[in-house]
Amino acid sequence: MVRLGFIIGFIALLGVLLSGLAAYRVHDQELTIDRIALARAIDVHASLVQDRLTERELLARVASGLFRAPSVIKPNMLEPLRSAIYAFKTDFVVAAWIARLKPDELDAARAVLAAAGFPNPTIRNFDDKPLDPAALTQPIDVLMDLEPRSDDTKALPGRSYDQDPVRGAMLARAKAEKRSVASDPLPLLRDNGAIGVIVAAPVIPEGATEPAGFVTFSYELASLMLTNDDMSLFSVALKDPRKPYEELTASDQGIVSTREVSDSRVPSSNRTVSFGGRDWQLSYYAKTNSVRRAEQTAIIVAAIGFAITAMVCGLFGYVAYNNLRLSREIQVRIGFERRLTAVIDELNHRVKNILAVIQSIVTRTLRHGSDIDVARELLIGRIHAMSNVVSLLSESQWQGVKLKGLFEARAIPHADRIAVTGPDIAVSARAAQSLSLLFFELASHSDEGLSLVGKHPHITANWTVTGEEPDAVFHFRWEESNTSEATRRADSDFGLILLDRVAPEALGGTAKRYFTEASYVYELTAPMETVIDMTERDRTEKFSQPVRPVR
């Protein structure tokens, strides 16, 4: 009996020790996994928020760059920008033009607002109190136009925001720093409206030192914070810069409210994002208590261990299985994080390349001395061409684009008059971007006037692939029949650079263009290995493969 009791006691002690060890391991691993998952989710969320803020600030900068300040006061100043600002597909609430007007210009501004059909053209303060022009000695900032026009927004034009404690401070800072500036959080459209922020970009005419006005965009705070996610591991709060002891939170329905900062409620992590020339602090609160969850899991494991102390082999089997399961989960999550980091790096690389191309397009299209109307149309068309190829690449997960898809009507003009022939090959992302711009430049200069026979030129675009791998060669030919050097509009400087140098060099080939007796011809020859770029495709396909646990 003593020996049996000793054996039973030894087994019980061994079972307690093993159960305690298993409970500790489970507690530590579950806590580590939860913390890694929460930290990674917070980093991804903060990165997405920063990307959204950067995109919206870029819209303000582009809009102010495209905006041409008027020589006289006139309505509908945002009319030329409508297609550009909606092309960004951002969720702004209101886009507005705020003009800096001298006191002697207020009567003319009132007349302009009345002629534009706004219900209250009176020049007034931000709180709707009329202003006396005789009492003014300095220019004031007056809202002259906005988009969209609705029942909630039509009553706003005519207001001066110089005395507004939030908007006035924002415009003063934008004027002083001559760059886009964001406001403090405030109600939009009306006093009880949705809380949001406004970003203002100054419009400085060429040769001037002071802005002629400001282009502003208003955004709801909930959409910028990306808070409407029931499955999220955390809730997000924004510290109000005006009130250090309060923070702004958004419900699942997107309703933003204010709550006091409590010592008993400590955020799991803080992140700082930049927007409108200032830093904003995001506080993240975990929705579940990782420590309590890990403790509960450890208690369950210990209880199971105490119940089966006589089954030592079963206990070891359970602990081994549990550790293997947790190890696999950790390996999967670590592999997912590495894959996600690689995908983010790849995405950043592609976004930087696209932004560099767009910057080059904008710089060369809006060069000094160019006709602004023609340049605007070319700029919008080139950006639409880039947008079309990016959409096609996104649909194929950046695995390439069918060459015939680059000839869609939404990407290039006169697509219905182009006869396209050639094998249905898929080109790489880099080649697709170059070829999309190339096709747009060729098509945009093919219909300036009538051809030699009094009709629009007939256009043919065909390509062939000759030779065997790996020495196959891609041949592209563009021909506009019934046209001559006298009837065809001359290529722009940007177009000549793209046709003669950029596109051929990007594909590692050569190009030539010439006029025959009755047609204009452009030919491009490049090796297929650069047109298809299997290295890029293999790398992208590797990113799209699912992460599987190691067996």
Q: Please tell me the predicted confidence (pLDDT) of residue 319.
A: 53
Report the C-alpha gap between 315 and 22 in whole angstroms. Answer: 10
Q: Which amino acid is at 228?
A: N
The architecture of the domain spanning 63-222 is 2-Layer Sandwich (3.30)
Report the C-alpha gap between 308 and 300 in whole angstroms. Answer: 13
Q: Please tell me the predicted confidence (pLDDT) of residue 546.
A: 53
- DSSP assignment of 405-474 equals GGG-TTTSTTGGGEEEES--PEEPHHHHHHHHHHHHHHHHTS-SS--TTSSPPEEEEEEEEES-TTS-EE
Joined together, the tokens standing for residue 514 give 């010439």
Q: Is 508 helix (H, G, I), strand (E, B) or coil?
A: coil
Question: What is the signed CA dihedral for 287, 288, 289, 291, rounded to 10 degrees?
Answer: -130
**Closest of 458, 432, 440, 451 to residue 495, by C-alpha:** 440
Report the C-alpha gap between 171 and 211 in whole angstroms. Answer: 10
- Directed axis angle between helix 372-395 and helix 312-365, to 10°? 160
| Residues 294, 27 contacting (CB under 8 angstroms) | yes
**Closest of 420, 442, 438 to residue 489, by C-alpha:** 442
Q: Please tell me the predicted confidence (pLDDT) of residue 160.
A: 92
What is the b/e burial string over 274-312, where b = at least 16 CB atoms within 10 angstroms of the residue's CB? ebbeeebebbbebeeebeeebeebbeebbebbeeebeee
Report the C-alpha gap between 382 and 366 in whole angstroms. Answer: 12
Q: Which residues pair with 479 in a beta bridge?
A: 460, 521
Q: Please tell me the predicted confidence (pLDDT) of residue 315.
A: 52
Report the C-alpha gap between 447 and 9 in whole angstroms. Answer: 97
Q: Which amino acid is at 106?
A: L
| Residues 525, 509 contacting (CB under 8 angstroms) | yes
Report the C-alpha gap between 459 and 488 in whole angstroms. Answer: 13
**Blockwise average pLDDT, block size 10, the chain, 551 residues:** 62 75 80 85 88 86 72 68 68 88 88 87 89 86 88 88 90 91 88 87 84 89 74 80 78 78 81 88 83 79 74 54 71 76 66 69 63 72 75 72 76 78 85 83 68 65 88 91 78 78 86 88 91 68 52 48
| Residues 309, 524 contacting (CB under 8 angstroms) | no
| CB neighbourhood size of 132 (10 A) | 9
Q: What is the pTM of this model?
A: 0.50
- Phi-psi region at 5: left, alpha or beta (left = phi > 0; alpha = psi -120 to 50): alpha
| 528 alpha-carbon distance from chain centroid | 32
The burial of 214, by beta-carbon neighbours within 10 Å (0-12 exposed, 13-18 middle, 19 or more buried), is given as: buried
| Residues 35, 268 contacting (CB under 8 angstroms) | no
Report the C-alpha gap between 380 and 374 in whole angstroms. Answer: 10
Q: Please tell me the predicted confidence (pLDDT) of residue 550.
A: 45
**Tokens 């507005």 correspond to what residue?**
96
- DSSP assignment of 10-61 equals HHHHHHHHHHHHHHHHHHHHHHHHHHHHHHHHHHHHHHHHHHHHHHHHHHHH
Question: How many residues does the structure list for the chain?
Answer: 551
Domain positions in the chain: 2-61+290-339, 63-222, 347-537
Report the C-alpha gap between 385 and 354 in whole angstroms. Answer: 12
Report the C-alpha gap between 289 and 296 in whole angstroms. Answer: 11
**Tokens 């409407």 correspond to what residue?**
228
347-537: CATH number = 3.30.565.10
**Preceding omega of 470 cis (within 30 degrees of 0):** yes
